[in-house]
Amino acid sequence: MHPKLPSLTAIRAFETTARHLSVSQAAAELNVTHAAVSQQIRALEEWLGVKLMKRVGRSIALTESGAMYAAGLLNAFEGILDATKQVKAYNDTGPVNVTTTPTFASRWMVPRLNRFRAEYPDVAVRISPETELVDLAREDVDMGVRYGSGEWPGLVAERIIGGTLAPVCSPAYLAKAPPLEKPSDLLKHNLIDDSGPDEWSEWLRIMGVPDVHLDSRSFFTIKHLGHQAAVEGQGVFMGVVSLMESDLKAGRLVLPLGPGDEVPLDYYLVTREDVPLRTPAQQFREWILEEACRPPEED
């Protein structure tokens, strides 16, 4: 009995040539000579009994049958390539790459990492604090931590901690500053901002202080260090309560207005829906989700 499939080498030679519409370029891609490719195509045509390509001037073109065949094969080879990439990625034992916001990294992740290291000494983890949102489809990223509603298309989001926002300041600042008893009082204070004015105005709008026109001069704009500026008594900072627990417990910061916002934004661990996590990343994911349930500790 005849085999069901022609030589795979021939099929690949044809597919590559069809993609480039050039025997020479195909040969270059396959690291062989053009003669090899040409012969493979001829063999395939003989096996099928069908002419797949024709010479047009000094280049080549697909016949109708060839175009049909190439379309099908293109798909199939892409499938093989994808599957191969996926297995290799899945078995990559390199460091787990986690992209996250700078705040979450420094206030939540880093303080706990030593516990992970103790539990899984063989798994290397690389935390990349990124100001901008990183596309998880990037090959060098295993997972991310995002602040938002938990709805991201194509991604699986698992809640880590609440994202309740509240204004905070140091006890010293509160003592010597103007009264701060209701949200609208905030307008007379130094508002520290480390990302953009949106957080403040959004929060004020929700708390019933509408039509606030905050121009950029209303702020200390200190990139990524707003929290520290608040501790040092430079003004009022808008922060995520669950990321300031240790400062609140230690009395370095206070909540003059109490936590009261209902913005439904939280911190989520996000992973790709379509690609399975490789083993070390699975371990890190499980650890994070366990850690998220753990009650906060004294420090």
Task: List contacts with its own copies (CB under 8 A).
Answer: 3-6, 8-9, 11-12, 31, 48-50, 52, 65, 68-69, 71-73, 75-77, 79-84, 86-88, 90-91, 276
86 versus 221: smaller Cβ distance to its own copies: 86
- Smallest separation, CB 105 to its own copies (Å): 31
Tokens of 177: 């500053």
Q: How far apart are CA 90 and CA 120, in angstroms?
A: 18
- Coil, helix or strand for 162? strand
Kindly list the residues in this chain that would bind DNA in the complex (CB under 7 A). 7-10, 13, 22-25, 27, 30-36, 38-43, 53, 55, 57-60
- Smallest separation, CB 86 to DNA (Å): 22
Q: How far apart are CA 30 and CA 160, in angstroms?
A: 47
Q: How far apart are CA 269 and CA 100, in angstroms?
A: 9
Q: How far apart are CA 3 and CA 188, in angstroms?
A: 84
32 versus 207: smaller Cβ distance to DNA: 32
Strand partners of residue 169: 254
- Coil, helix or strand for 237? strand
Residue 24 partner contact from its own copies, DNA, none using kind-dependent CB cut-offs of 5 to 8 Å: DNA
Residue 121 partner contact from its own copies, DNA, none using kind-dependent CB cut-offs of 5 to 8 Å: none
- Smallest separation, CB 96 to its own copies (Å): 18
- Smallest separation, CB 83 to DNA (Å): 18
The packing angle between helices 64-90 and 8-20, to 10°, is: 110
